[in-house]
Chain A
Amino acid sequence: MYFLRLVFKNLFRHKLRSLLTLAGLVVAILAFGLLQTVVAAWYAGSDMASARRLVTRNATSLVFPLPAYYRERIRAIDGVTAVSTSNWFGGIYKDQSPGNFFAQFAVDAGNFFALYPEFRTNPDELLAFQRDRRGAMVGRVLADQHGFKVGDVIPVKGTIYPGTWEFTVRGIYEPGEDTTVTRQLYFHWDYLNEEIKKRFPRRAEQVGVFVVQIADGSRAAEISQAIDAEFRNSLAETLTETEKAFQLGFIAQTEAIVMAIRIVSFVVIVIIFAVVANTMAMTARERLGEYATLKALGFGPLFVGALILGESVLITLLGGGAGILATFPVAAAFKSAMGAFFPVFRVSHDTVVLQAACALAVGLAAGIAPGIRAARVRIVEGLRHIG
């Protein structure tokens, strides 16, 4: 108790120095948490991937489609329980500002939501969607962001498929888990295909990717090989992989950026370590006389060393705690400013633990050397520092 009181009193002895160090710690831990959250948000799409879903795409590139009739041949492969189409639509809602961006996919209305149980749907709304070829299902976050309600008509300007397309909201799906992304709009692939037949007949009956549901996740590799073997030496060979690998494939294209963000987040910690270590070294040097006095009075080197180490840990925990608390509102503001860029942007439990661990590690590492120096000070030499 007395020890803690002494540590606490020592901490605010040089108020300006302590406050500046604390401010640095708050900013560093906040920046670290924010950057870690950005990295986590990058991987958010892959977090909701299911082990029981595969994605089959054109082996040459994702930009090349696959013939729609592949669906039946894939469905016939042993172990496959359902197949749905999925076409990236790439339309523009209102304008190209980041705040108005959201993804639209043309899917098999009949079975797509059965493949994605993490999207919780109202059965009546789902039925209404399946019965209306111009109907659409929008995610909860997207609906809340733009105020979409059932019955609203959403006009979207096509980029890949030119013209203005109108979709009627027939239902709003809810997230089943924390990591479920609900910022998308799904509409009928049949509607898209019919319109393409009218407007661009040569592009009809084509699919971006097939989402393949399998009965047993442990057979994913075997079934993927079977699907790709089915279309080997055809005009459009396929590449089948797990949904997670498919999602990570997108992230891999930006891996260097993610890695840079990750490195910068740890560089921030190294910098604040140097700042705190310098503060503690100065502190220990200034107080050598006091440590010598304590030792002369009979206090052991452990007590003296723990004083400086305790002060270092306390200042980093205070600064780290404030930094962690500040991360939540700042992350919320960041998310709001970024619009739909990060569908899932939340400070995870892991990030908070990592922030706390970094703060503690900085406190311990910065206090060890000055603590040892204080503990080892020879009384006679230390007393010369006074006067």
Chain B
Amino acid sequence: MSPADGAGTRPLVEIARLAKSYRRGDQVVPVLSDISLSIAEGEFLALMGPSGSGKSTLLNLVAGIDKPDSGSLRVGGEDITRLSEAELADWRAAHVGFIFQFYNLMPVLDAFENVELPLLLTSLSRRERRERVRMALSLVGLADRMDHRPNELSGGQQQRVAIARAIITDPTLVVADEPTGDLDRKSAAEILGLLRRLNEDLGKTIVMVTHDWHAVESARRVVHLEKGELVDGDGGRPPGA
């Protein structure tokens, strides 16, 4: 049985009546309203919707880099809306792996150092860190590019470094914001294949924002957002699934 076989058995993310708005001058702009959603451990969920629908905001809330106005948001049984900024930073370091559209690698650091970055917040020794980084870079197929800086790598390779960085601390949740949005089709397919492997082979729970139907095909469940509301709360299947 692969780890993914257990998907859906136990909720990792539980969202109830979540709301979020932004202030623009005197105006309050609602972004998310009354969102309730459950994401199971080992699930690969795609969040879809048009621009401005609130999908990135929902992802940011789940990842603990933004705070909701109301509602509850439990990840791994912990209500992260009650955590202070410092507690949230520690929580993210331990539980969340980030994959961004534009990779967000440190340009002055090489691939090895970029992947090592989250491990600096752990108590691992230098030797243990080195072993883990080598393993993660091998997993994403970049063992021979460790000393290359981001500007010496292609977009696809940079995103693979970012994926290695996202999984280096063995997080319970991986969030990906348009991970293929800046890549050509071939590189995008490689990245999606890698994400699928993370989900299926390593059992990582992945929440991915995308509006690319090819990306959606990799997900096990799709959730649509429109104007800050869930359109089909419990997820339509991706076409062809």
What residues of chain A have their CB less than 8 Å away from a CB belonging to chain B? 2, 6, 9-10, 13, 289-290, 293-301, 379-380, 383, 386-387
Which residues on the B side are within 8 Å of A289 (C-beta)? 104
Whether B65 pairs with A379 at a CB distance below 8 angstroms is yes
A1 to B, closest residue via Cβ: B126
Assembled-state Cα–Cα distance A298/B120 (Å) = 10
Residues on the B chain within 8 Å of A386, using CB: 100, 102, 104
Q: A290 and B106: CB pair below 8 A? A: yes
Q: Closest CB-CB distance, B233 to chain A, in whole Å?
A: 24
Interface string of B172-198 (1 = CB under 8 A from A): 000000000010000000000000000
Q: Dominant SS at the A interface?
A: helix
| B121: Cβ under 8 A from any A Cβ | yes
Q: For B106, what are the chain A residues with a Cβ–Cβ distance below 8 Å?
A: 6, 290, 293
Task: Give every chain A residue within 8 A of B108 (Cβ-Cβ).
Answer: 6, 9-10, 13
A–B Cβ pairs within 8 angstroms, 17 of them: A6-B106, A9-B108, A9-B109, A290-B104, A293-B98, A293-B100, A296-B98, A297-B93, A297-B118, A297-B165, A298-B89, A299-B121, A300-B89, A379-B60, A380-B60, A380-B66, A383-B65
B232 at the interface (CB under 8 A from A): no
Known: A9-B109, A296-B65, A297-B98. A383 touches B92 (CB 8 A): no
Which of A6, A299, A380, A387 is close to B89, meaning CB atoms less than 8 Å apart?
Answer: A299
Q: C-beta contact mask, B84-125 vs A, less than 8 Å → 1, else 0?
A: 011001101110001011101011110000000110110000
B63 at the interface (CB under 8 A from A): yes
For A12, the closest partner residue in chain B by CB is B108
**A297 surroundings in chain B (CB, below 8 A):** 92-93, 98, 117-118, 121, 165
Q: How many A-B residue pairs have CB under 8 A?
A: 59
Q: For residue A289, which residue of chain B has the nearest CB?
A: B104
Q: List 7 additional A-B contacts (Cβ < 8 Å) besides A290-B106, A293-B104.
A: A6-B109, A9-B108, A10-B108, A297-B165, A300-B89, A379-B60, A380-B65
Assuming A383-B100, A387-B102, is B90 touching A298 (CB within 8 A)? yes
Q: Evaluate contact between A13 and B107: CB separation under 8 angstroms.
A: yes
Are B66 and A383 in contact, with the CB atoms below 8 A?
Answer: no
The CB with the most chain A CB atoms within 10 A, among B89, B90, B92, B101, is that of B89
B104 touches A298 (CB 8 A): no
Q: Which of A290, A297, A299, A379 has the most chain B CB within a 10 Å cutoff?
A: A297
- Listed residue (B63, B94, B108, B165) with the most chain A CB atoms within 10 angstroms of its CB: B108
**Contact of B100 with A2 in the complex, beta carbons under 8 Å:** no
Q: Are B89 and A295 in contact (CB under 8 A)?
A: yes
- Tell me, rounded to whole Å, the shortest Cβ–Cβ distance linking B2 to chain A: 29
Residues of B contacting A301 in the complex (Cβ-Cβ under 8 angstroms): 85
Distance in angstroms from B24 CB to nearest chain A CB is 13
User: Would you give the shortest CB distance from B173 to chain A, in whole angstroms?
Assistant: 13
